[in-house]
Amino acid sequence: MTIRIHRLQHVERDDRCDLYAEIVTNDFRGTFAFERTSTVAGLSLGDPRPDAFLVMLLMHAMKTQQDIWIEEPVDGKLLFHLRGSVQVLLRLCFPELALIRIEAESRKESETIFAPMHIATGFSGGIDSMQLIHRKQVDHQLPSEYAVTMLMHHGVGSVTQEKQYLMNFQHTQKFAEEYELELAGARFQASPFFEGYSFLETHTLRTVAATLSLAPIFKHYLFASGTDLQVGVPSMPSRTLDAANPMLLPLLATRENGFSQFGGEHTRLEKILEVLGNAELAPRINVCARVSHDNSRVLNCGRCFKCFPVLLVAEAIGKIDMLRANFDLDSFRRNKSRCYLNFFNAAFGPRKMQTNRQVAWFISNYASTRFPATIRALMRLLPDPISRSSVEHLLRKLS
């Protein structure tokens, strides 16, 4: 069977301009929407385009071995790569996927929309996106195409609770206002099309689809991924799609909109140290996962698997008190013993979380904290997860 994408339309709703299409697959038939918001005009420029829907459906089509037929024309550059190189990269990460055909016409160059020159990035307030903002502030040699002018806050499946999504969106909205940046975003319910895959396995395609639905209002998008390339690239054949981003993102570009990776050359520990060294940005960090305890009195609970490593580093370098406004430090200290158990289990257990290994190594080498003998023995068996010279350079900046 063939997946069909047709009957596209823009629909104005209050302060939104949504993008709709009718989608027919072998197990789904209905109208699908990207709910789009923006502080700049232009979302309804030109005829509605199917590019975002094609990216969203590609992995589902390859998994179910369905070709794709599209009624409206697709950007020629994007279409060329989706028919070939993108599918090959996806199969490298997910060998069970099959190559498929995409039947569509290329959009004429005369239909090109010259988008505003905005440089956008997905922004949650987490370490990766905060490091990008930090670099914009301090790196005077940063090329202009990496100097962000627009934040995008997408709802693509990482947050399932409406309360948490709204809290995160309001945090991003406030940040954009304070730093005089434009704000845009798209939400969609794509879970049926990524069934059988985790969010992290499909993060890139979800985000690019949401961003392409906003195509008329930006020029270039920076993907601030948390994947350390030194660790990620060797793991590409093992279902880590983010590791392929330096190759994958440029292949998802259109004539009008570019995509590229940002920050992959830095480890998560290096990013944490950079952001904590920025007294303006550190009190605005928003990393909390709120997996099972969305009852914190402040923005970050202080004890989840994302909060805890950040606070351990902040404590080690004497910066923890400046996080009092956005982290529940009382909860961090009260639950420290139990959180340490989870932290070390994630670092050295089956998950082998690189962030936790880097933080444990840092504290063991550069703080007065004494870890249990078993942990110290494990760490001696592992190679240094990060360059000592890089860390010491960042510590000199902090002193």
- The full set of domains in the chain, from first to last, is 2-111 (no CATH), 119-261 (3.40.50.620), 286-398 (no CATH)
Pairing status of strand 182-187 against strand 29-38: antiparallel
Relative orientation angle of helices 336-348 and 307-316, to the nearest 10 degrees: 110
Q: In whole angstroms, what is the distance from residue 153 CA to residue 162 CA?
A: 14
Residue that has been written with the tokens 């990460």 in this structure: 93
C-alpha distances in Å from residue 31, one per residue of 12, 19, 280, 310, 372 = 16, 10, 44, 42, 56
pLDDT at 307: 95
Q: What does the alpha-carbon distance between residue 58 and residue 82 come to, in Å, rounded to a whole number?
A: 8
Q: Using only C-alpha atoms, what is the Rg of the chain?
A: 22
Burial class (CB within 10 angstroms; exposed 0-12, middle 13-18, buried 19+) of 295? exposed
Give the model's pLDDT for residue 214.
95
pLDDT recorded at residue 45: 85
Residue 55 is given by DSSP the state: H
70, 102 Cβ separation under 8 angstroms: yes
The whole-number pLDDT of residue 323 equals 96
3-state secondary structure of 335: coil
At 336, is the secondary structure helix, strand, or coil? helix
Question: For the stretch 34-52, what's the b/e string if a residue is b when 16 or more beta carbons lie within 10 angstroms of its beta carbon?
Answer: bbbbbebebbbeeebbbbb
Exposed/middle/buried for residue 76 (C-beta within 10 Å: 0-12, 13-18, 19+): middle
Q: Within 10 Å of residue 22's Cβ, how many Cβ atoms?
A: 16
Per-residue model confidence (pLDDT) at position 19? 96
In this prediction, residue 84 carries a pLDDT of 96
Task: Note the pLDDT of residue 156.
Answer: 87
Q: Are 364 and 385 in contact (CB under 8 A)?
A: no
Q: Is 217 exposed, middle or buried (0-12, 13-18, 19+ CB in 10 A)?
A: buried
Ramachandran bin of 170, using left for φ above 0, alpha for ψ from -120 to 50, beta for the remaining angles: alpha
- Rounded to whole angstroms, the Cα distance separating 94 from 102 reads 19
pLDDT for 353 equals 81
Could you give the C-alpha distances from 323 to 80, 260, 275, 328, 332, in angstroms and in order?
A: 48, 31, 12, 9, 12
Please provide residue 222's backbone torsions phi and psi, each rounded to the nearest 5 degrees: -100, 120
Mean pLDDT per 10-residue run, the chain (399 residues)? 92 90 90 94 90 96 96 95 96 93 90 80 94 92 89 84 83 96 93 86 93 94 78 61 86 94 88 95 91 66 93 95 94 91 84 84 84 78 79 83
Tell me, yes or no, if the pTM score tops 0.85.
Answer: yes
Helix count and strand count (H, E) for the chain:
15, 10
Asked whether 223 and 148 are in contact (CB, 8 A), the reply is: no
pLDDT at 284: 96
Across the chain, the runs of DSSP E, i.e. the strands, are 2-13, 16-24, 29-38, 67-70, 102-103, 119-122, 150-152, 182-187, 220-223, 258-261
Task: Report residue 178 CA to chain centroid gap.
Answer: 22
